[in-house]
Chain A
Amino acid sequence: MGKTTGFLEFERHDRTYAPVKERLGHYKEFVKPLPEDELRQQGGRCMDCGIPYCHQGCPVNNIIPEWNDLVYSGSHRNALHVLHQTNNFPDFTGRVCPAPCEAACTLNLIESPVTIKTIEHAIVERGWDEGWIEPQIATHKTGKRIAVIGSGPAGLACAQQLARAGHVVAVYEKAARIGGLLRYGIPDFKMEKSVIDRRIAQMRAEGVEFHPNSHIGVNIQIETLLEKYDAIVLAIGAEAPRDLPVPGRELKGIHYAMEFLPQQNKRVSNEPVGAEDIWATDKDVLVIGGGDTGSDCIGTSNRHKAKSVTQFEILAQPPDHEDKLSTWPYWPLKLRTSSSHQEGCEREFAVATKNFTGENGHVTGLDVVRVNWATGPDGRLQMQEIAGSEFHLKADLVLLAMGFVAPVHKGLVEQLGVALDPRGNVKADDLKYATSKDKVFVAGDARRGQSLVVWAIREGRQCARAVDEFLMGASELPR
């Protein structure tokens, strides 16, 4: 523990953002890091709990008390090492993770949590700046070959772990560049893509081969891989989006978020967009779905200089503050306002879309009804429309950001014929990560359904250990 009474002496200070006006003018990251002395104080707030709830609250089980202490005492290099013990890509999570660890932090129970995410981000950036981050090249090779399909966070984490264990790893990616959702789903203003590139460079040095533009099941047959490799890891994500099947859905101007967001990322990195441009400029934009993807759509639309941005959420507005005694250390349900929300948007809660209206085949608006949520006889929340609360809303561009249901089944999954769970995800347990098909493993959203980057990293790491155990009989990779 850095300082026994640190939590009583220092207030929480977090990173700040550039002013809205300034940051809307570009697609770069706008978070201002904490100065060094401030950061150390924040590390000193950690209480080094007997049960570190953050440690268990974190999906990759970051050993948070340890690096908080090390940051407090100024040993950033050791902190970096501890951080990397449990997390391959703290630079990703330090930017985009919603930080369940901070929700679980003991200080959150009584006041405001330690700025864990900020500290994590600072440690890893310092590591890159100082050149402390080096490839960890395996000294002995096992001669085993593994294909990882998908280069999102799960695929990358899995590949890196396996390469460090001495296996030959090839990563296949259907898109032109490596990174999956990291590269195409997360806007640049949240995470600049050079962050991914430097990790890819590290992994190349560690011996990972990357095969972009290789859409398995489409332009490469899975049989080829099955022949060539000793094990195959599916890290294909959960890309099938949830649809909104209401009248008027076929109108133009209604897009899935994942049709809209990647375009902008490609523009920023000078890639061809490859389809019809979707712009929000001077439009009344409606985002349906109140999650992180929705937020990203808002942020991007605002940078497109949309006329107005509105966000719909079907659930009722959550309370501003959670009842910590009954939720802590778990992720609480409360109103969250992201940096994109701050940049300007209207938020509507408890509204359901009845139908879209359009002119000339293009959407112009939608009919909406307010809903009420009540606990039904089975104990579940049930939705009831409130009679007479219908209203009409004008919209030129509708973005559907209601989440993802499952991995895309067409192609690879069907060809492999792996068993699926009731939700349509590839079926595997979280110990062996093995699918119903021999030597085929699965990790990440493809297995557990849509989730956080940090969960994907965890799955990738654990799957790597499972694969290593499968191939070698035992594994020294950490779980």
Chain B
Amino acid sequence: MKQKAQGLYDPRYEHDACGVGFVAHIKNTKSHDIVARGLNILCNLEHRGAVGADPLAGDGAGILIQVPDRLFRAEAARLGFALPPVGDYAVGMMFLPQDVDARRVCEETLEQFTRAEGQTVLGWRDVPVQISALGESIKPNVPVIRQIFIGKGANVVDTDAFERKLFVIRKQTHTDVRAKRVDQSGTFYIASLSTRTIVYKGMVIAARLSPFFDDLRDERLESAIALVHQRFSTNTFPSWELAHPFRFLAHNGEINTLRGNINWMMARRHSMTSKVLGDDLAKLWPLIGDGNSDSATLDNCLELLLAGGYSLPHALMMMIPEAWSGNKTMFDDRRAFYEYHAALMEPWDGPAAIAFTDGRHIGATLDRNGLRPARFIVTHDDLIVMSSEAGVLEFPEEQIKQKWRLEPGRMLLVDLAEGKIIGDGTLKAKIANARPYQAWLDETQIRLESLPEEVAPMPPSKDVLLDAQQAFGYTQEDIKVFLKPMGLSGEDALGSMGRDTPLAVLSQRPKMLFDYFQQRFAQVTNPPIDSIREELVMSLVSLVGPRPNLFDLDSGGKHIRLELKQPILSNMDLEKIRRIEDNSKGAFRAYSLSICWPVEEGAAGMADAIERICKTAEKAVTDGHNIIILTDRPMDADHIAVPSLLATAAVHHHLIRSGQRTEVGLVVETGEARQLHDFCLLAGYGAEAINPYVALDTLSVLRRDMAEQISEYEIHKRYIKAVSKGIMKVMSKMGICTFQSYCGAQIFDAVGLSSAFLDRYFTGTASPIEGADLDDIAEETVRRHTQAYGDAPNYRNALDVGGELAYRVSGETHVWTSEVVSLLQHAVRGNDYNMFRQYSKKVGEQGDGLISLRGLLDFNFAETPLPLEEVESAASIAKRFASGAMSFGSISWEAHTTLAIALNRLGGKSNTGEGGEDPQRYKPLENGDTMRSAIKQVASGRFGVNAEYLVNSDDIQIKMAQGAKPGEGGQLPGHKVDDWIARTRHSVAGVGLISPPPHHDIYSIEDLKQLIHDLKNVNPRARVSVKLVSELGVGTIAAGVAKAKADHVTIAGWEGGTGASPVTSIQHAGEPWEIGLAETHQTLVINGLRSRIAVQVDGGIRSGREVVIGALLGADEFGFATAALIAAGCIMMRKCHLNTCPVGVATQNPELRHRFVGKPEDVTNFFLFIAEEVRADVKARLPQLPGDDRPDRPAEAAPGQRPEGARHRPVAGALQARESVRRHALSERDAGSRAGRGLGPGTGQTRPERDRASAARDHRPADHQREPHSRRPAVGRDRQALWRRGPAGRLHPCEFQRHCRPELWRLFGPRCDFGVGGPGQRLCRQGPLGRSPDHLSEEPEPARPHQERDRRQYRPLRRHRGRVLFQRRRRRALRRAQLRRRGRGRGRRRPWLRIHDRRLRRGAGHHRQQLRCRHERRRRLCTGRGRHLRRSLQPGDGRAGADRGTGCGAGSAGKSRRRPGGPWPCRRHAQYDGGRCPPPAHADRAPCEVHRQPAWQGDPGRLGQLPDKVRESDAHRISPRADRAASVPPAHLGRSLIRG
């Protein structure tokens, strides 16, 4: 019944984000009313759930209540069996397969285990259900739902023991049924089996839950609690079991560290014994069924802890601890509690709001970040209502006793037995004081710093070091870009532009194993953490060594633990650990295990070596060692070191499998690790501490030649600081706060490693494609070793050049070489198509150097090519092109406007990037050109976003992530922020602008849905787009985005560029767009959502061939950034972050900007060439249709290349969806025609449909030009004025041709029925987006019955905000009413809606309150009593430490107010070049005294007064040329800097 992996879709990447709530009677008075109220909550939470293609098939909803004794007693009597007293019988809620035989087996298995455990089966009851309440797509798979009644046996003493037995029975039954494989459909599931609680849940939308279960409407169904949940999975496969609530909890959020948590649970198997469970513990394995959702897994763990004797709150405090390590205000006993339990259980980290109950208690808790809302109300009549938003149940104000929200890390508990609410403080104090945790800690805690000092080995001689460096694959770049800057500055290196080097598996050079892995990152469904501003919640504490028995609640004081402040060890630290036995009274015994093997054995010896290492490790643990130090120090000419990552992961997984992992700590002493990514990987695969001795030795040697006199200790310290800070940042990218839960969490995807290899050594890591296996890795390792200790002249006294970051002839291959760049530039400048063909041949990878996956793909040829004239024209194809998101600020005015003008000429779309747009660009130029960017980006920093900006858009793009730096915000160094940039961005000149990693108002998919909705209200004509980055699982996110009513989604690949980003991110995060795009398309099709949304791809698209491949993999539109920029004159200096771009592209230095030579014609030539190439390819080659996913076959890899062709065969296989995907696509059509679509913005209709439908209602012709949206944007301008400022002076005519989602079939002309017959043909004709033009010309469809559904879906929103959202006809009336109201009431004049740099959006009712609360929380988090007050200052910011806001962007509005006074800079002469740009809007303002450039040509005298930081910045070191020496800085600039 569950969807299986197919194509690139893999169910393990499904995510949850949902609505959750409960209502309870505090005094435990049972009534049906409570249940009814619970169901009411559910209905009111409906907007938090998602609806897929089938309108009645939600992602699942459910309710958990106390066992309704009255109902069951009556029912049992009716069925002919008697129930024992309450507490002595249990009810099981069973989902059983439809197949009769299978069902019988399942039932018998359960009965059999029940009897085996000494309990009695009392009887069965069929649960009455109404199938008609279900969605069409659900009906065929409805499980048979029955209840079993089990009586307490004689062998259990009390209800708790009975519950434990039930748990054992349930676990065994599940395992056994699965093992018997009778249940082919995968239906069998015990939703609950308890004496206290019962769960009713299913694949229904919330409102259909009670129509579906007759019981829920039965008055005899009584309970004092009702815990409900509505799921918004970002995927909608019908799965009954994954609907919430689970047996104990319902969860809104996502566990990011799931893989690691599962591994660690497995690893405990042997070290776990329980007094209460006794022998039953062994029957519980496997604890966690693979393939369960994160929430189900969380529930599995929780129930185990409860069975093991923990109380409910205690268990949750262990699993989801508060932020304790950096919190100095926490009570000592509570901190001791958390610190003690840190060793027992690693946090289950990720955004989470959890409502939980065991039938006697009910409560809720939030994770340390508090990113999911949870509000509660207590009434005078003893009701408590908790929910993910306020207002789910209505109470008169006088009834309400208390109204508050759960705060981050806090817990709320209702003890039904005692009939009272226990607050967080009382509750936790009680638990924390229950045992002497501090005393236990004092007895057992060893801190590394407190161990006696040891002597570290001295660094070796240069020659020996060189050999070691070479054997470990060091390059000159490692030294120059990573080690040296990290050692000097304590920061990770910045870089710019994208990655254009091959995948590790395609590289011809021996690559480090590290390079095969890509960091995963969070987008949309869970937010990355802002590791700088939210430092409070981050923790790098690592515990090394054995972990205590999880169920040992009493002997806490006996297990000695070793705590590290952060996981990177200096050489001395490592010696301390090596010799710890003497200093810990024998509690620790460290074992140094060499991971080297003799050189004679060659590459073939590595497999055995790993085997031996694992065996030795196992034996060491058996012998009583509890710290294993994996070391490659013994590497020398005669010994080769196994790649440290491989050794670590192999030992880690071996010990997990042998169940010994928690008995031992894993420390890695390796020469290999040097870049940040290396450390992250080692930690991610199990290393609790890492000592990079060669990196440290290298620094020691480098130190001697450095200009700055710096001690060895200091340089090591700075390097370690850089690494540990970097790890924190990488963790935060995935939304993980604690190193402990990051350790072993395997937050990585492998690209290009064989699955056999991964399964063996990196169990649980996914690779979308096949690739290198152990032999290849061994060969590469040996090759490096031979080079190091061989006689190669080039390596005799120098490291390899590397060439990863900047091109070197003998280094790594790059796409952009001098030849390629000059071919492109000469072609577009000379309008020479033939030369362009040479260029695209060079980047087409069909020759020698394979770079990317698309290089492995080739087209199937058509037997008869199309006549070229039947193919869509180049001009028309070019309309699908867009420029990548590059901000004004990262690139210069000249470069930005050139791209915009060019794309406007073509009818394509240029993108503002996240830097706002100067309003003067909204006016057309005299020659008819316009500089207005069609796509307006809304990124996390919200720079420059206001209503005027938004209404001047055709697309509004919400940037969730960026290809070059997913999980991080954009960075604009302070020296690039001149006055103009600052004004456009509503900021202050000279201040570095770093966007926060998350959008601080998007912490879940519901939030995103809300923002989409809001943006549509600001500009109803614009499509709303969401930009995502390719990673495994992006398809499920895209599905969620589609369900959140976005019109457009962009999938960015890892090759995407950037103006400034940590090199680690550029190189090691994200995945190729081929994978993400294919997965997105496939997942959308499987879910029937493809027709709702247009898909754009960008990130390293360079030629027509790549466009066609993109189209075949499912893209409708294409973004070009780097290539377009190169056409405009960029020469890939990769100096964007330094502001020294010599060709005036990525710089704000006026002198350099003068050097910009690009012309819009160059760029239009480029796009037209690409379009022409697309036509040629389409004509000559493609029999397939867009999105028909079997386009490509693997290219024959040329013989003699390093990757043998066979190794890559599976690449194309993976990218192709299988037959079933196509079948789904067909059924999508059917479903679509049956279900129809709703109306209004964002209902998934295409614009023409929407317009036709609305015209049908309004009796207006479809092409009627509508009035602009009547909602008034919250800017102080007249609405009409805004609209008049639309593009090219038009009144934004609704160019529906432009707006409608492109039907890709047009790309291929009308004759696209070749090759595929029957239904396939129909599919193809319609293209992936569903509608052929024939269809468009059909009569408007009659109004559909499903309008009702859409209205209903929004009802809660409507009620809570007091406004009608989508009903067009009523909008005007409503607005009139609003205007009246505003005019009348005092204090009612408030902005209607503000999407703005000021983060706090004010609206009506709860929405405002909700935002305010969140805002407050954030402010507290960010600035917490002034201590954590941090803004990220770049060198040269000139605002050392000054706080101008809360850091999370909330201050930017304030900044604009604080804009220094004084005259505006005169622009007339300085910044407008050659008459191309019109005089600015402010040209009439008083010019500055001298018509000079406004920024950075300071005279030294003035700058002499500035703070040191400013004076030192590179920007100021640019000495003025003689002819400009007389210029002085505008007075206000100096002031603002000095003030800072």
Give A contacts to B, CB under 8 Å: 4-5, 7-9, 47-53, 55-57, 61, 63, 65-66, 73, 75, 81-82, 85, 104, 106-107, 109-110, 136, 138-140, 164-166, 325-326, 328-330, 476-479
Partner of A5 from B790, B806, B1140 at Cβ < 8 Å? B1140
Among the 9-residue stretches B547-555, B939-947, B1126-1134, B1472-1480, the one with 4 or more Cβ atoms under 8 Å from chain A is: B1126-1134
Partner of A51 from B791, B806, B829, B1138 at Cβ < 8 Å? B806
8 shortest interchain CB distances as A-B pairs:
A50-B1134, A476-B792, A61-B809, A56-B818, A53-B818, A50-B1132, A51-B1132, A478-B794
Chain B residues with Cβ below 8 Å from A55 are 807-809, 818
Among the 9-residue stretches B750-758, B1086-1094, B1512-1520, the one with 4 or more Cβ atoms under 8 Å from chain A is: B1512-1520
A47 near B807 with CB under 8 A, answer: no
Given contacts A8-B1140, A56-B807, contact A49 B1518 (CB under 8 A): no
A51 near B808 with CB under 8 A, answer: no
Given contacts A47-B1133, A51-B814, contact A56 B819 (CB under 8 A): yes
A8 near B798 with CB under 8 A, answer: no
Q: How far is the CA of A477 from the CA of B798 in the complex (A)?
A: 14
CB distance from A220 to the nearest CB of B (A): 31
A479 near B810 with CB under 8 A, answer: yes
A8 near B1151 with CB under 8 A, answer: yes
A140 near B1157 with CB under 8 A, answer: no
A63 near B791 with CB under 8 A, answer: no
Chain A residues with Cβ below 8 Å from B818 are 51-53, 55-57, 104, 329
Closest to A75 in B: B705
Closest to B1519 in A: A9
B792 near A110 with CB under 8 A, answer: no
Contacts beyond the supplied A325-B1157, A478-B794: 13 A-B pairs with Cβ under 8 Å: A8-B1152, A8-B1519, A49-B1134, A52-B818, A53-B818, A65-B806, A66-B476, A106-B1142, A140-B791, A326-B829, A326-B830, A476-B791, A478-B810
Given contacts A7-B1142, A8-B1151, A477-B793, contact A325 B806 (CB under 8 A): no
Partner of A56 from B809, B1132, B1140, B1151 at Cβ < 8 Å? B809
Chain B residues with Cβ below 8 Å from A164 are 793
For the complex, count residues of B whose C-beta is within 8 A of A: 50
CB distance from B501 to the nearest CB of A (A): 12
A4 near B817 with CB under 8 A, answer: no
CB distance from B1485 to the nearest CB of A (A): 30
B1514 near A51 with CB under 8 A, answer: no
Chain A residues with Cβ below 8 Å from B1467 are none
Q: How far is the CA of A37 from the CA of B1214 in the complex (A)?
A: 59
Chain A residues with Cβ below 8 Å from B629 are none
A8 near B1518 with CB under 8 A, answer: yes
Q: Mark B806-832, 1 if CB is under 8 A from A, else 0.
A: 111110001011110110011001100
Chain A interface, DSSP helix/strand/loop, else mixed: loop
Q: Is B801 an interface residue (CB 8 A)?
A: yes
Given contacts A109-B1131, A326-B826, contact A51 B816 (CB under 8 A): yes
Closest to A107 in B: B1142
Closest to B1134 in A: A50
Q: How far is the CA of A400 from the CA of B1351 in the complex (A)?
A: 93
A49 near B793 with CB under 8 A, answer: no
CB distance from B1200 to the nearest CB of A (A): 11
CB distance from B602 to the nearest CB of A (A): 15
B793 near A476 with CB under 8 A, answer: yes
Q: How far is the CA of A73 from the CA of B1517 in the complex (A)?
A: 18
B791 near A139 with CB under 8 A, answer: yes
Chain A residues with Cβ below 8 Å from B130 are none
A106 near B1131 with CB under 8 A, answer: yes
Given contacts A82-B798, A330-B822, contact A4 B1140 (CB under 8 A): yes
Given contacts A8-B1518, A107-B1142, contact A50 B790 (CB under 8 A): no
Chain A residues with Cβ below 8 Å from B801 are 63
A85 near B794 with CB under 8 A, answer: yes
A9 near B1518 with CB under 8 A, answer: yes
Q: How far is the CA of A476 from the CA of B1519 in the complex (A)?
A: 47
A81 near B1133 with CB under 8 A, answer: no
Given contacts A9-B1518, A55-B808, A56-B809, contact A49 B798 (CB under 8 A): no
B476 near A51 with CB under 8 A, answer: no
Chain B residues with Cβ below 8 Å from A53 are 818, 822, 1131
Closest to A138 in B: B791
Q: How far is the CA of A47 from the CA of B1143 in the complex (A)?
A: 12
Q: How far is the CA of A56 from the CA of B820 in the complex (A)?
A: 11
A48 near B792 with CB under 8 A, answer: no
Q: How far is the CA of A467 from the CA of B361 in the complex (A)?
A: 83
Chain A residues with Cβ below 8 Å from B830 are 326
Q: How far is the CA of A334 from the CA of B819 in the complex (A)?
A: 21
Chain B residues with Cβ below 8 Å from A56 are 807, 809, 817-819
Q: How far is the CA of A106 from the CA of B791 in the complex (A)?
A: 36
Given contacts A47-B1142, A478-B793, contact A329 B807 (CB under 8 A): no
18 interchain pairs, CB-CB under 8 A: A4-B1138, A4-B1517, A47-B1133, A47-B1140, A50-B1133, A51-B818, A51-B1131, A51-B1133, A55-B809, A56-B818, A61-B810, A75-B705, A85-B794, A106-B1131, A326-B826, A326-B829, A476-B787, A476-B790
CB distance from B847 to the nearest CB of A (A): 14
Q: How far is the CA of A104 from the CA of B1135 in the complex (A)?
A: 18
Task: List B780-811 residues whose CB lies under 8 Å from chain A.
Answer: 787, 790-798, 801, 805-810
Q: Is B1440 an interface residue (CB 8 A)?
A: no
A109 near B1143 with CB under 8 A, answer: yes
CB distance from B782 to the nearest CB of A (A): 14
Chain A residues with Cβ below 8 Å from B791 are 138-140, 166, 476
Chain A residues with Cβ below 8 Å from B1143 are 109-110
Partner of B821 from A4, A51, A63 at Cβ < 8 Å? A51
CB distance from A57 to the nearest CB of B (A): 7
Chain A residues with Cβ below 8 Å from B787 are 476
B1518 near A48 with CB under 8 A, answer: no
Q: Is B447 an interface residue (CB 8 A)?
A: no
Task: List B339-370 residues whose CB lies under 8 Å from chain A.
Answer: none
Chain A residues with Cβ below 8 Å from B1151 are 8
Chain A residues with Cβ below 8 Å from B1519 are 8-9
Q: Is B1406 an interface residue (CB 8 A)?
A: no
A50 near B809 with CB under 8 A, answer: no
A63 near B1514 with CB under 8 A, answer: no
CB distance from B1121 to the nearest CB of A (A): 15
Chain B residues with Cβ below 8 Å from A140 are 791
CB distance from A45 to the nearest CB of B (A): 11
Q: Mark B1089-1121, 1 if CB is under 8 A from A, else 0.
A: 000000000000000000000000000000000
Chain B residues with Cβ below 8 Å from A110 are 1142-1143, 1155
Q: How far is the CA of A328 from the CA of B796 in the complex (A)?
A: 36
B822 near A4 with CB under 8 A, answer: no
Q: How far is the CA of A61 from the CA of B794 in the complex (A)?
A: 14
Partner of A63 from B792, B808, B1140 at Cβ < 8 Å? B808
CB distance from A473 to the nearest CB of B (A): 14
CB distance from A104 to the nearest CB of B (A): 7
Chain A residues with Cβ below 8 Å from B825 are 325
Q: How far is the CA of A8 from the CA of B1141 in the complex (A)?
A: 11
CB distance from B707 to the nearest CB of A (A): 8
Q: How far is the CA of A328 from the CA of B1131 in the complex (A)?
A: 11
Q: How far is the CA of A55 from the CA of B1149 in the complex (A)?
A: 27
Q: How far is the CA of A479 from the CA of B810 in the complex (A)?
A: 8
CB distance from B1161 to the nearest CB of A (A): 13
CB distance from B1521 to the nearest CB of A (A): 8
Q: How far is the CA of A330 from the CA of B497 in the complex (A)?
A: 24
Chain B residues with Cβ below 8 Å from A66 are 476
A52 near B1517 with CB under 8 A, answer: no
Closest to A74 in B: B707
A49 near B808 with CB under 8 A, answer: no
Given contacts A110-B1142, A110-B1143, A326-B829, contact A165 B1135 (CB under 8 A): no
Q: How far is the CA of A4 from the CA of B1133 in the complex (A)?
A: 12
Q: How far is the CA of A274 from the CA of B1151 in the complex (A)?
A: 61
Chain B residues with Cβ below 8 Å from A478 are 793-794, 810
Q: How far is the CA of A140 from the CA of B796 in the complex (A)?
A: 14
